[in-house]
Amino acid sequence: MTKTSENNSLILKLKQDIYPLEAICGASYVFIDKAYIYIDSKKKGEYEVRIKGKEKLTSKKLTEIEGEFMNELLNYVQRLNISKSTGKIREYIVERALYSAVNEEGPAKDDDVLDDPLGIAIPWEEKYGDTNDK
C-alpha cells in the first residue's frame, strides 16, 4: 500500500491481489458518512482509493481516517476469506438441517390444514353467541 495526501484528501494505492474490490467497496461504504470516497484503477493490478474529508481535516485526522479505513479493509478481507473457506461446510449444514426438518415432519398434507384438535378454528359467534346484543 502506498499513500499520498493533498488538499484535504489522501490517495491509497492498493494491490488487487491482496485487497479484492468487494472488500474495498465494503470498507468504503462504512466511511461514506465521514468522507467522500472515489475508487479507480488506473494501473493494472492496482486500485486507487481517494478519501476526501467532508470537513477540513488536519493531517493528524487524515492519518487517523487512513488507519481506520485500513483496519476496516482488513476486517472485510478476513471476512471474505473466512466466507470462502467455510462456504462448503455452511452449505452442507443448511442442506442437512432442511433435509432433517422435512424427514421429521414429513411432507405437508392438505388434510392437516382442516384438522383442529384444539378446537381453535370455531368462529367467535358460534362459540360465544352473538355479541351485538348490548
Partner 1 sequence: MINNNEIKLNNKIYKKKAIENAVNAFSELANFEINSKGDYYLVEVEMINDVDPVALSDEFTNYVLYSMKNI
Q: Which residues bind partner 1 (CB under 8 A)?
A: 21, 25, 28-29, 32, 36-41, 47, 50, 52
Give the shortest CB-66-to-partner 1 separation in angstroms: 18
Give the shortest CB-89-to-partner 1 separation in angstroms: 27
Encoded amino acid at 128, one letter: Y
Look up residue 36 and give its DSSP letter: E
For partner 1, give the closer residue by CB, 42 or 88.
Answer: 42
For partner 1, give the closer residue by CB, 40 or 125.
Answer: 40
For partner 1, give the closer residue by CB, 20 or 63.
Answer: 20
Residue pair 21/46 in contact by the 8 Å Cβ criterion: no
Give the shortest CB-6-to-partner 1 separation in angstroms: 13
Provide the pairing of β-strand 9-15 with 35-40.
unpaired
Look up residue 57 and give its DSSP letter: -
CA dihedral 93, 98, 103, 109 (to 10 degrees): 180
